[in-house]
Amino acid sequence: MAESLTSALSTLRGLLLDDASLVRAVGAGRRRGLEPPWRRVEARYVDLKTGRHLQVTAYDQAQAHTRNHRVGTEAERAVDELLRWPFANWHVDASTATLQVRVTKKGDALVHRRAPEDDLPPTHAHDRAKARLVGAAEPWLHAIGIADHEGRVKPSRQAKYRQIEEFVRLLAPAVDDALAAGRLRDPTPTEPLRIVDLGCGNAYLTFAAFRHLSGTGDLPVHLVGVDQNRHSRDRNTALALELGWDREMSFLAGSIADVSLDPPDVVLALHACDTATDEALARAVRWHAPLVFAAPCCHHDLQTQLRHASTPPPYGLLTRHGIVRERFADVLTDALRAALMRMFGYRVDVVQFVASEHTPRNAMIRAVRTGAEPAPAMADEYARLTTEWGVEPALARILAAETAQVLG
């Protein structure tokens, strides 16, 4: 329900200062027009040799910074400082309740209270296992085959579980930021956040996105998964029905280029093979999708072009050996995709979303639509690079008219 921000922050303050019941609190996202000093903060109580402390861990783009504040006046000051920072979202787990607060574009607070996630008391041990955003015991993980019936991740699915965890860790704050900045409209039960996953396959990450945003983030969400494989469509539809999510999730069999959909708010393309990633990015551009996540898979298209093109001097060493040429083609493909998305009006980051020992396909293209006009130097750099190497990215071929316009 909606209430004043002052009232919501007062409720948050009480929960954050209750060292007997607080399990964990997380602040993330930024309010419209404001910038908190940290990307994300987490707070919990720990018992040290000198007594109980409020432990606050603040995350920037590169690392975590942890400080401990003794219970009492010191912890109160730390909490008051946390609540002064303009985070758009707070999620608080306590033994008494779970509280979700989201600040709207107008500066009000949408507050959702529910029973606590479980009956376990908070632990104040200083050393603990890494906090998981996706608990292995969640029933949907068993339904999709990641965990067994006792809530333990199957040994053969450990890598996939880590992919799910790290994907959610990237997706959730990006959606929070886009909502707070007004790039995404405020969803309602009648007009939910529309998400499409193009080339969803077995939809492990599709189910993860839906569960985390709708179940943990309390957002009204409708998600559509698209894949050419009819077996995947039937399997995923049956799983959504089994989980009771069939009203909010649907799956279609068809090609990325031809499927008919209303323009979504968020486009996902997670390990779509080769130029299927480019087809998904092209649909996102033509939809003017506010938020795009693409995890590219194989990169055969530019590998083939480089094999038949003349290498510009003095870069012959980059293409002389097949394995080096393939790895260079991977990097060049994603660099050109990112450049094109920037020219089409997106702010783009290419980040690692899971460690390379779990999958070699571990890059994520994260794009936020700003509508900014491309700088002439950017278009010139792209044109020179593609001309000298004699390549044409698949994304530029699919969006030939749009590419010609920005290069013109």
Residues 226 and 348 in one domain: yes
- Is residue 122 in some structural domain? no
- Is residue 120 in some structural domain? no
Residues 279 and 162 in one domain: yes
CB-based burial, 345-366: b 16+ in 10 Å, e otherwise: bbebebeebbeeeebebbbbbb
How confident is residue 271, by pLDDT bands cut at 50, 70 and 90? confident
Residue-number span of the structural domain to which 94 is assigned: 2-114
Residues 167 and 82 in one domain: no
Residues 149 and 262 in one domain: yes
Q: Which of 98, 114, 130 is the last residue of a domain?
A: 114
- Is residue 247 in some structural domain? yes
Residues 167 and 272 in one domain: yes
- Is residue 123 in some structural domain? no
Residues 96 and 177 in one domain: no
Residues 178 and 233 in one domain: yes
- Is residue 125 in some structural domain? no
DSSP, collapsed to helix, strand or coil, labels residue 120 as coil
Residues 50 and 150 in one domain: no
Residues 352 and 315 in one domain: yes
Residues 154 and 97 in one domain: no
Residues 340 and 392 in one domain: yes
Residues 200 and 103 in one domain: no
pLDDT digit string (tens) for 356-388? 554 556 789 999 999 988 888 999 999 999 999
Q: How many domains does the chain have?
A: 2
- Is residue 10 in some structural domain? yes
CATH no. for residue 225?
Answer: 3.40.50.150
The answer to whether 278 and 253 have CB atoms below 8 angstroms apart is: no
The answer to whether 193 and 213 have CB atoms below 8 angstroms apart is: yes
- Is residue 133 in some structural domain? no
Mean pLDDT of 63-78: 90
Instruction: Give the predicted TM-score (pTM) of the model.
Output: 0.74
Bridge partners (DSSP) listed for residue 295: 270
- Is residue 132 in some structural domain? no
* Percent above pLDDT 70 for the chain: 92
Q: Greater confidence, 115 or 166?
A: 166
- Residue whose entry in the numeric block shows the structure tokens 């009956």: 119
pLDDT digit string (tens) for 249-260? 999 999 999 989
What are the DSSP E strand ranges found in 49-203? 51-59, 64-70, 89-94, 98-103, 109-114, 193-198
Cα–Cα distance between 163 and 160 in angstroms, integer?
5
Q: How many CA atoms lie within 13 A of 332 on its CB side?
A: 25
Residue type present at position 73: T
